[in-house]
Structure 1
Amino acid sequence: MKNTSLSGRVLSELISRFTADHLLGRKIRTGELRKKLVEPAWSVPDIFTMEEIDLGNFKMQRLARKEERNANRVILEFHGGGYIAGVRNAYYVMAGLYNEVSQGADVVVPDYRVAPENPFPAALEDALAAYQWLLSQNYFGEQIILAGDSAGGGLAMALTMYLRDHNMPVPGGIIAMSPWTDLTASGESYRTNYEKDPLFGNTHESMIYLNDYPGNHDPMDPYISPLFGDFRGFPPMLIQVGENEMLLSDSVEVAAKARMQGNRVRLSVYQGMFHDFQLAFLSIPESKNAWDEVRRFFLALE
């Protein structure tokens, strides 16, 4: 981590200290703390409008600028949380950043159903319903950009596989931040980064290993773990991951496989960084650089 920014090192150390606490740390790693978190309603900045859309099984929010909207593109943002926790206010902040770096595209954030109450394929069904709703709003597939972090990044890839397999329009691009693509935890980094990962490291009592999402289904099913699927016909992908994540191989192996199958993929491994470091937003240089990279990805899609 010698070339990691001071603020990045400090934040990583703070995460390590929180997760080292026996009781609090376990609740953070398993997702129990986030799942039970009660937040006030998000305060929508004056430059935006927020519209709730009810699709029956779940609701989603559409964030849009009041002025200078980019009507040629829309972002479908899938939140993380290990498929066991719902959307949180941080994801609406993230939606605001996506709006900025895309030069004003609307951002739709589904609060898709989660386990254990709703195991696979509930999240995929809701992701599909959100995508089909956008198609019904007269967007073409190539105008829709899928974005997701952690489980949301894996969900974006799983949805794209489903769309392609069922002869539906695929999206115009995928942005995956620290994507969870291997729910079998079989990648090399689950071992090599076991003692380095400040969030999930040094324990098997975490949502990485204890997860209800697959239910009775094989976790190697590509719609659950897209790493084991076929990436032919995928749109351009930007994959960002932290060097110290146990989930590092989830990104590295997907990128290698997708490239081998003829896809355009940019993989960026951020030195010294932890899982979902982009949620630090603009407070550390590494996260700021990651969002600048997302901006450049959108420009390259023009």
Structure 2
Amino acid sequence: MPSVEAERALSELMAAKGRVKRPIADLRREWERRAEAEPLPEGLKTSAVTAGGVIAEWVIHPDCDSDAVFILLHGGGFCSGGPVTHRKFAAYLSKATNMKVLVPDYRLAPEHPFPAGVHDCLSVYGSLLHEGIPARRIVIGGDSAGGGMAASTLLALREAGAPMPACLVMIAPWLDLTNSGASYAGNADNDPTISLEWHNEIGPWYYDQADPANPIISPMFANLQGMPPVLLQVGDREVMVDDSKVFAEHAESAGVTVDLQIWPGMWHIWHHAAPDVPEALEAFEKIGTFVQDHLGS
């Protein structure tokens, strides 16, 4: 059973369900304003950096004493989000994993459609390798569209013959931009934040003239052989839950180590509700356990 705090948060989200169409620039600014008002853990260290020519932000929890790096690729439908919107998320991730978190401000659609964002993420990863950080001490992950971007980045690394990071962490990832999952209909009334209509609108902003079934755009259709261990966390109320289920099946068939966690009663990226919702803190803890189990020394 979801906690009282989770039920309360879900009720508030369901009451506000229904997206008012506004220019994407307005939606970006509103999200950043809300994020800037959120309290952060005391002693949190943040600093702007340029990694491989890409603007990014370091987020390091005061309890972190490791030199390992978690590259967090933010969600936002490939068209919004950034280091500011995911600063609190990165803080809790740093604490749970005992890793420094690097949040790239990768280029967004519709101004910069595929493959601009993937190229940015590859540049950030390459810059860490160039600095002498071994791949076994790097984790790549992301939430929602950022989860899909993380999988796309690893597929591109594999194609290039580059060393793979220690593992891949995806939180409610958008892995199929053809939006073919049956859960879009099955969970339409249960998901308070995401809808098929919204994804059908913003998906083309990202893939532009490319084929949305291209495996680098929609990793659900990829051959996943050679991928590192994968953690998937997703709520059972989400319209995208089938993306994670199908990806996990394909990964297991390819011999990849997979931990698929489907959280009862949870909504899309409930992690943002930390520290008020216990399930959010628990989810971060499980990410930390998975990462430490697979991070190289």
Q: Same fold (TM over 0.5)?
A: yes
For normalisation by structure 2, the TM-score amounts to 0.90
Cα pair 2:169 2:230 within 8 Å, conserved: yes
Task: Look up the match of 1:17.
Answer: 15
1:269 aligned to which of 247, 262, 279:
262
For normalisation by structure 1, the TM-score amounts to 0.89
Task: Give the direction of change, closer, same or farther, for the CA distance of 1:296–1:45 in structure 2 (3 Å limit).
Answer: closer
Matched residue type, 1:54: T
Matched residue type, 1:267: L
Map of 1:144-163 to 2, 5 A cutoff? 144-163=138-157
Unmatched runs of 5 consecutive residues or more in structure 2:
none
Identical-residue share of aligned pairs (%): 30
Task: Give the direction of change, closer, same or farther, for the CA distance of 1:68–1:162 in structure 2 (3 Å limit).
Answer: closer
Task: Look up the match of 2:95.
Answer: 100
Structure 2 residue 239 is the aligned partner of structure 1 residue 246? yes
Q: Partners in 1 of 2:175 and 2:163 — Cα distance?
A: 22
Q: Give the Å deviation of 1:268.
A: 0.5
Cα pair 2:97 2:289 within 8 Å, conserved: no
Matched residue type, 2:106: Y
Aligned CA-pair RMSD: 2.3
Map of 1:171-210 to 2, 5 A cutoff? 171-201=165-195, 204=197, 206-210=198-202
Map of 1:29-48 to 2, 5 A cutoff? 33-37=26-30, 38-39=32-33, 47-48=43-44
Q: Partners in 2 of 1:222 and 1:191 — Cα distance?
A: 23
Aligned length: 291
| Secondary structure of 1:171 counterpart | coil
Q: Partners in 2 of 1:65 and 1:9 — Cα distance?
A: 29
List per-residue Cα deviations over 1:77-108 (Å, max 9, x = no partner): 000000001315341111111211122x2111
Matched residue type, 2:76: G
Q: Give the Å deviation of 1:6.
A: 2.2
| Secondary structure of 1:196 counterpart | coil
Matched residue type, 1:102: T
Map of 1:102-117 to 2, 5 A cutoff? 102-103=97-98, 105-117=99-111
Task: Give the direction of change, closer, same or farther, for the CA distance of 1:31–1:88 in structure 2 (3 Å limit).
Answer: farther
Task: Look up the match of 2:70.
Answer: 75
Task: Look up the match of 2:127.
Answer: 133
List per-residue Cα deviations over 1:213-232 (Å, max 9, x = no partner): 00000011111110011111
Cα pair 2:57 2:83 within 8 Å, conserved: no
